[in-house]
Structure 1
Amino acid sequence: MSTDAEFADARHSPPIPPQPPRRPVPAGTPGPDGDPQTAVLRRIPAEPPVPAPGAPATGHPVPPRPTVPPPAAGAQPPPRPDRAPGPPAPAAPAAPTPPPPAGRPDAFRDTAAFHLANSQKLWSDSRERGAGSGTGAPPAPGSEPTGPAAGRPPQPPWPPTAAPHRGVVPAPGAPAMPRHPSGRRPGPRLLGAVACLVLGIGLIGGAAAGSWLSDEADAAPPTAAATFAKGRDVWHNTPADRLFPRTVNGLGVGPGGADRTWTRIAVAPDSGCGGAYDPKLAAALTRAGCTRLLRATYADATRTSVITVGAQITKTDQPGMRALNTRFSTKSLGTRTDLLPLPYAAKGTPAEDFGRAQRASWTVRILTDIPVVVYAVSGFADGRTVAEPQPAEEAVRPGATTAPAESGLGHDAKGLADRVGTDFRKAAGSPTQTTEASS
């Protein structure tokens, strides 16, 4: 059967040192009444007897016995309230306290009254210390109890000062109100980080908006007027290799649907239009004006034929180009043998013998969506003369038996003129291919 002692927590019970052996009391040692470390218990007077109900009274009741003994003879009476207290009587010298036993701490006391008086305090301090530190070990006997770190309860936080109402002027001498409720201003690093964040968001938003607007602008097809105006500047805004490629592949454009390949052998410096046409063709193109003339000469894969391709940038507007195209188609100016373009015979190339008498086939195209006139003229690379040149549109017809038709010179002139016209339109951003009348 278990008892309460088995469930008692030994950590909360202060150990009681063993009783030292009794030693004789030296002479002159005060008794229990004079020992300040010994508690003296006095008797409590007995209650006066209570008479039974109905019993006759037996005189006056006996007063209680006074608890304070009367002053001895010759002792001074206590001071009266209306008198000033006299000088205190000299205190008797205190008896020397015997030293503690050897091998024991000075904090130990060997009296039961001391342990009874301090046991409750030791118990309370050990519980508070165990709850705060997480350890339930009691303090060592005789050690001073430890309280809070600062020895006093924590001070409550200083209440924030409410911001004054708008329009209220503080009284003179009043403390200045903090600008922020916390009393601290944001540091420069925080302000810089916020500024960088706002700037970054703005840049990202601006880039996204610009990309969206540019995509919208690129997706929208250009107007005819914008394309025509851009076509006037392609000659100095576009590289020569894009307008006159080094190699041009013509799939199925040769006689009988054969493939043709042309290689560029010379590029003429951009110049005016003087000396590029027969006099009657130059007169017919005078109405459109001439801003610049670009030319290049090609040779076929067998080096048996040479072709000069040219592009004249005009000064007229879009209605003027339409009128010029109508005049060439209605009056057959592109099929007359007295209105031929001249070749560009570059020295040191297979085309150096390519002159007026060697012209075998030609074509002239008036582009109406951009201010450009494209032409091409072809001949034999060995310098042979051709008595009757034939327009390219006639030489490419099935069944043609002329020398330009059978040699493929008509296909060379027509194929290269189509390719160069397409490159100029792409450089100007023309969305469609305009079909001009054959000249």
Structure 2
Amino acid sequence: MPTGRTEPRRHVRPEPPADVPPAPRSRPEAPATGAASAPPPPPASARFPDAPPAGTPGTGTGTGDFRGHGTPARPAEPPRRTAVPEETSGETTRRLRPVRDEVLREAPTPRPFVSFGQPETYDDSARPAGRRTRPRALAAAACVVLGLGLIGGAATGSWLTGDSAAEAGSPGAFAAAGGMWHSVPVDRLFPPTVNGEGAGPGGADRTWTRIGVAPDGGCADAFDPLLRKALAPAGCLRLLRATYTDATRSHVTTVGLLFTKADAAAMTSLKNRFRREGLDRRTDLMPRSYAPKNTLAAGFGDAQRASWTVSVLTDAPVVVFAVSGFADGRTVATPQPAADATGSGATTAPAQAGLGHEAQGLADRVERSLRKRVAPATESPS
């Protein structure tokens, strides 16, 4: 019987006809391969930590959600990145951190290749242990070279100055020098022209021209009596003399070579006596000049002698001497030995005129020429 309440009408979906195929589903079923179906993919929040989680029905955060009275929900703001905290000293591993833009823009700079030398070791005196051997070896080599140079220089100097004790032990050279008065032409002993570089006052150059050669002979009239007596122990074998004039033809100089009969020991004794007693500085022991007739030196006599030098050799039986004067024949009241006339500050007439340099310079050049002739004479033929 009716009670006044009406029951709600139920909607019944009609059954499809039997001959109509069922509608396809929105998601196809996994084929039945006998294996377990793949699990569904994880939500976006798990795969992408920065993506916002999917909306939940009824919360108003989904795209298809409606709040209250059908008002569409506003899209949620993307979450901000949180700042990465700085590393602390307690961390044992390095974290992956975002790369800054300015670092990416910088071009990579190649690192230079650096090599390191061997480490130095030090000894007790705080010096590198490996560096003392070379400096000491170099210093020792330098000392050896210096010593050889000094020895060679001393030998050469003694040969040029006549004080050659080292050469005195060579009887062949000594004997060869004693016979040069007849084996060497006069033009080689007394060249027609002699060049004296630096032989003049102040290092000026000199040139001497030969104007006469005396015949070889004895020593009777070649020396003052006292000088002849001083040279007597050595004996007189032969005497050679020549007279030269300078380039200005204002000075004349006689140079001589006295070949003695003495041996090396007697010549050494004679040289020591001249040095000890100063016989080469006494005005009463001057050698005499040679004045060839009809020449510029025709008036060159004893009174015109102004300066002189006498040198006794020890490596050859020879006494080299020279005496100079003015070419105009003027007399000189006070002659001066060449060793004093060539000294600094000398104010005598021979010194001021350069006559000391004339005698010393010409005698030195003739002596050097004599020594050069000795070496070839002592060489044995090959």
TM superposition score category, shorter chain reference: 0.5 to 0.7
Does the alignment pair 1:368 with 2:314? Answer: yes
Q: 1:229 aligns with which of 165, 175, 198?
A: 175
Which residue does 2:326 correspond to in 1? 380
Q: 1:266 aligns with which of 208, 212, 237?
A: 212
Alignment of 1:129-168 (within 5 A): none
Alignment of 1:247-326 (within 5 A): 247-326=193-272
Alpha-carbon distance in 1 for matches of 2:174, 2:265: 11
CA contact (8 A) 1:369 1:430 kept: no
Does the alignment pair 1:351 with 2:310? Answer: no
Alpha-carbon distance in 2 for matches of 1:381, 1:332: 28
AA paired with 2:321? Y
Which residue does 1:426 correspond to in 2? 372
AA paired with 1:395? A
Alpha-carbon distance in 2 for matches of 1:335, 1:428: 29
AA paired with 1:419? R
CA contact (8 A) 1:395 1:405 kept: yes
SS at match of 1:285: helix
Does the alignment pair 1:328 with 2:277? Answer: no
Which residue does 2:288 correspond to in 1? 342
Alpha-carbon distance in 2 for matches of 1:233, 1:266: 23
Q: 4+ residue runs of structure 1 moved beyond 3 angstroms?
A: none
Alpha-carbon distance in 1 for matches of 2:183, 2:292: 25
SS at match of 1:365: strand
Which residue does 2:186 correspond to in 1? 240
SS at match of 1:328: helix
Which residue does 1:37 correspond to in 2? none
Alpha-carbon distance in 2 for matches of 1:418, 1:386: 24
Q: 1:391 to 1:430 in 2, by over 3 A?
A: farther
Alpha-carbon distance in 2 for matches of 1:379, 1:249: 19
SS at match of 2:366: helix
Which residue does 1:29 correspond to in 2? none
Shift of 1:282: 0.2
AA paired with 1:294? L
Shift of 1:346: 0.3
What CA deviation, in whole Å up to 9, does each residue of 1:204-233 have, x standing for no partner? Answer: xxxxxxxxxxxxxxxxx9961110000111
SS at match of 1:296: strand
Structure 1 vs Structure 2: percent identity of aligned residues? 61
Which residue does 1:400 correspond to in 2? 346
CA contact (8 A) 1:270 1:292 kept: yes
AA paired with 2:283? T
Shift of 1:422: 1.1
AA paired with 1:357? A
CA contact (8 A) 1:361 1:392 kept: yes
RMSD: 1.6
What CA deviation, in whole Å up to 9, does each residue of 1:126-158 have, x standing for no partner? Answer: xxxxxxxxxxxxxxxxxxxxxxxxxxxxxxxxx
Shift of 1:430: 8.5
CA contact (8 A) 1:255 1:406 kept: no
Shift of 1:338: 0.4
Shift of 1:428: 1.6
What CA deviation, in whole Å up to 9, does each residue of 1:12-57 have, x standing for no partner? Answer: xxxxxxxxxxxxxxxxxxxxxxxxxxxxxxxxxxxxxxxxxxxxxx
Alpha-carbon distance in 1 for matches of 2:365, 2:213: 16
Which residue does 2:142 correspond to in 1? none
SS at match of 1:283: helix
Q: Which moved more, 1:341-350 or 1:417-426?
A: 417-426
Alpha-carbon distance in 2 for matches of 1:430, 1:385: 43
Shift of 1:425: 1.4
* Structure 1 unpaired stretches of 5+: 1-220, 432-439
SS at match of 2:284: coil
AA paired with 2:188? R
CA contact (8 A) 1:293 1:313 kept: yes
SS at match of 1:383: coil
TM-score (norm 1): 0.47
Shift of 1:251: 0.8
AA paired with 2:297? A
Alignment of 1:103-252 (within 5 A): 224-252=170-198
CA contact (8 A) 1:309 1:416 kept: yes
Alpha-carbon distance in 2 for matches of 1:409, 1:375: 14
Q: 1:418 to 1:278 in 2, by over 3 A?
A: same
SS at match of 2:303: coil
SS at match of 2:324: strand
Equivalenced residues, count? 211
Alpha-carbon distance in 2 for matches of 1:423, 1:235: 13
Q: 1:430 to 1:285 in 2, by over 3 A?
A: farther
Shift of 1:288: 0.1
